[in-house]
A and B are shown apart, each in its own frame.
Chain A
Amino acid sequence: MARTVPALIVGLLVVAAGIGLVTLRVNPYLYFAGYVILQYVVIATAWNILGGYAGYVNFGTPAFFAMGAYTSVFLIQSTRAPLPVLILAGGLVSALLGLGIGYLTLRLRGVFFSIATLALSIVLQTMIMNWEYVGGSRGLSVIRPSGPPFGNYVMFLFTVMVTLAVIAVVTARFIERSWVGRGLAALRDNEEAAECMGVPTLRLKLFATTISGFLLGVAGAPFPYYVTFVEPNSAFNLDYAVNALAMPMIGGTTSWVGPVIGAVLLGSAQQLATVTISSEMNLFIVGIVLVAFVVLAPEGLLGLVRRLRGR
């Protein structure tokens, strides 16, 4: 616990640095790209709480992300709620979805769980596509609120995402170091053995799926204001599922640093590739890097570093 306080201070410093960066007013594109990278930090960290710590591979990342985004769309349409409310509401809706997924783990393990999450994503997408109020399959334009507290709206969203990323990472780090993290690691390695040793596996799994869902929803909630046009195919994009897997796999899944490293490296590489080559090429790179890492360096970059140090 004693090491949580310094971590919080570091986190606050990162937020402050993010706000400082905004006052510098560098090239506006950097905020635009930075937002996406930070969004992936949140997504990868959230995915890793379930996938890396508990060993349940979630292919349904787009479902949770889009639930956050569409909760925002609904609230913007109905009440024009302020951004903090949107983020909280988006997180809560996705957390509920996560809780539901958590109960699925009672019957479904391993591959079946993963396929069920993928199924969930497509069922939800079909429902959204048939719901006209939030735009249906054609999508919907969202008007940003006028007068952000500082800078332009993208800069404001950038600092919001910095804050969310710090919250996500601090949460993941806290879970990892607490008894919850150790319990999750135990059930990842052998669920029956953990249960026999008195680890409350169901409660831990429900906790992991709910927190993971909450953070994924939080990442999706500001999305409508960022893109200003929301349609199901972009909100439920399979790219989120692939990136959410690839980033922790590249960094290393057993520690909170892994997803952060993976998200920053792969996220930046993708942004560069999108600008310099093409957006399809950047997806190709993600696929190749994912397969290469999973075959050649299954422990990710952290594992590679550890192996080099060990020698």
Chain B
Amino acid sequence: MFSWDLLANAVVSGLLLGGFYAAVSLGISLIFGLLEIANIAQPAFVVLGAYAAYVLNNAYEVDPILTGLAFTPVFYVLGAVVYRVYYESFERRGDEALRGLVFFFGLLFILEVSLSLKFGVDYRLVQTAYTKTSIEFGGVGIAFRYLVPCVIGVAMTLALYLFLSRTFYGRAIRAVSQDQQALRLMGVNPIQIKTIAFGVGIAAASLAGALLICIAPVIPSTDRDYIGRMFAITVLGGMGSIGGTLVAGIILGVAESFMATFFGPSWSLAVSFGILLIALAVRPAGLFGR
């Protein structure tokens, strides 16, 4: 039975989900898309951010998004340290491709297992005033727990876009992705710039994690669901294109929402990986690729 209400609901919730997906993927868009570092541990950092938000919300009833913002400096330092280790062990020796990938895979696993050792495998969630309310527009319900992450996701995308196009360090990051040697000739240390970019990417995970736990309860292995989504969005949007990340996030969000509405939620995970496989096989440069 086809119903317009159902369709409208699917489109709206897909759009809202898309804004959130963009927020989750910004970090990997920066780290993988621009720096071409295959940080598959990124979703584990997002889940780490979600747990930070959970701990403070559970103990002191702090707003999760506030926690996400407050933890960005901590995540930035964490990211900078991870990049330094990666640089010293792989990039400088010139075998980042194979072993670097394994390094990040190991990191993903360590983060995930550490979380399940500390918190167990129960679902964790946050309590806020807005996670339970929703508004309705002519038969289409909009839940605040989706609307708030979507708005913040779009804001994050805009902020990162402005950072990359207007500030000195942002332009330096784009320059390092184009020609590292030329940047060195301009008197800028590319390693320092990459450290900053990696730090910013991980810092974005802190906020994205807070959004994640607003939307749905989180377990340590939630990161696995997002590996495919993140990379699908980054590849589909075109490596390193920030605007493309938002567009691809929305495409994926709507596609998943349709799948969940018309075929059942158990199929929605296959959508992201299906899109990723198709994008990789048909057009690896993505929609807005260079």
A94-133 interface bits toward B, Cβ cutoff 8 Å, 1 = contact, 0 = none: 0000000000100110111011101110110011011000
Tell me whether B277 and A116 are in contact (CB under 8 A): yes
Tell me whether B270 and A242 are in contact (CB under 8 A): no
A285-298 interface bits toward B, Cβ cutoff 8 Å, 1 = contact, 0 = none: 01110110011001
Tell me whether A290 and B113 are in contact (CB under 8 A): no
A249 interfacial contact with B, CB 8 Å: yes
Tell me whether B89 and A295 are in contact (CB under 8 A): yes
In the complex, chain B residues whose CB is within 8 Å of the CB of A295: 85, 89, 103
A175-219 interface bits toward B, Cβ cutoff 8 Å, 1 = contact, 0 = none: 000000000000000000000000000000000000000000000
Contact check: which of B32, B102, B274, B284 meets A249 at CB < 8 Å?
B102
Distance of A33 Cα from B266 Cα, bound (Å): 34
Please report which residues of chain B, range 260-274, place their CB below 8 angstroms from some CB of chain A when the two chains form the complex. 264, 266-267, 269-270, 273-274
In the complex, chain A residues whose CB is within 8 Å of the CB of B99: 249, 294, 298
In the complex, chain B residues whose CB is within 8 Å of the CB of A119: 228, 231-232, 273, 276-277
Q: How many residues of A contact B (CB 8 A)?
A: 40
Tell me whether B284 and A242 are in contact (CB under 8 A): no
Tell me whether A120 and B277 are in contact (CB under 8 A): yes
In the complex, chain B residues whose CB is within 8 Å of the CB of A288: 110
B89-116 interface bits toward A, Cβ cutoff 8 Å, 1 = contact, 0 = none: 1000101011101110111011001101
Contacts A280-B116, A281-B117; A107 near B280 (Cβ below 8 A): yes
Distance of A249 Cα from B281 Cα, bound (Å): 29
Minimum CB distance partner of A129 in chain B: B266
Minimum CB distance partner of A122 in chain B: B273
Please report which residues of chain A, range 126-144, place their CB below 8 angstroms from some CB of chain B when the two chains form the complex. 126-127, 129-130, 137
Contact check: which of B40, B93, B113, B270 meets A283 at CB < 8 Å?
B113
Q: How far is the CB of B266 from chain A (nearest CB, A)?
A: 6
A170 interfacial contact with B, CB 8 Å: no
A246 interfacial contact with B, CB 8 Å: yes
Q: How far is the CB of A277 from chain B (nearest CB, A)?
A: 11
Tell me whether B101 and A114 are in contact (CB under 8 A): yes
Distance of A246 Cα from B102 Cα, bound (Å): 8
Q: How far is the CB of B152 from chain A (nearest CB, A)?
A: 27
Contacts A111-B97, A281-B117; A242 near B106 (Cβ below 8 A): yes
Q: How many residues of B contact A (CB 8 A)?
A: 41
Q: How far is the CB of B249 from chain A (nearest CB, A)?
A: 17
Contacts A115-B276, A284-B113; A294 near B103 (Cβ below 8 A): yes
In the complex, chain A residues whose CB is within 8 Å of the CB of B38: 110-111, 114-115
Contacts A115-B276, A119-B276; A55 near B109 (Cβ below 8 A): no
Tell me whether B270 and A287 are in contact (CB under 8 A): no
A35 interfacial contact with B, CB 8 Å: no
Distance of A129 Cα from B105 Cα, bound (Å): 25
Tell me whether B280 and A118 are in contact (CB under 8 A): no
Tell me whether A104 and B106 are in contact (CB under 8 A): no
Tell me whether B231 and A115 are in contact (CB under 8 A): yes
Tell me whether A112 and B102 are in contact (CB under 8 A): no
Contact check: which of A122, A281, A284 meets B110 at CB < 8 Å?
A284
B227 interfacial contact with A, CB 8 Å: yes
B124 interfacial contact with A, CB 8 Å: no
Tell me whether A112 and B117 are in contact (CB under 8 A): no
In the complex, chain B residues whose CB is within 8 Å of the CB of A284: 110, 113-114, 117
B171 interfacial contact with A, CB 8 Å: no
Distance of A129 Cα from B107 Cα, bound (Å): 28
Contact check: which of A122, A249, A281, A286 meets B270 at CB < 8 Å?
A122
Report B's interface with A, CB cutoff 8 A: 32, 38, 40, 85, 89, 93, 95, 97-99, 101-103, 105-107, 109-110, 113-114, 116-117, 221, 224, 227-228, 231-232, 235, 264, 266-267, 269-270, 273-274, 276-277, 280-281, 284
Please name 14 further chain A to chain B contacts, defined as beta carbons within 8 Å, in addition to the given A115-B227, A119-B277, A287-B109, sorted by A numbering: A104-B280, A112-B280, A114-B38, A115-B40, A115-B280, A119-B232, A122-B224, A123-B273, A126-B273, A130-B266, A281-B117, A286-B109, A287-B110, A290-B106
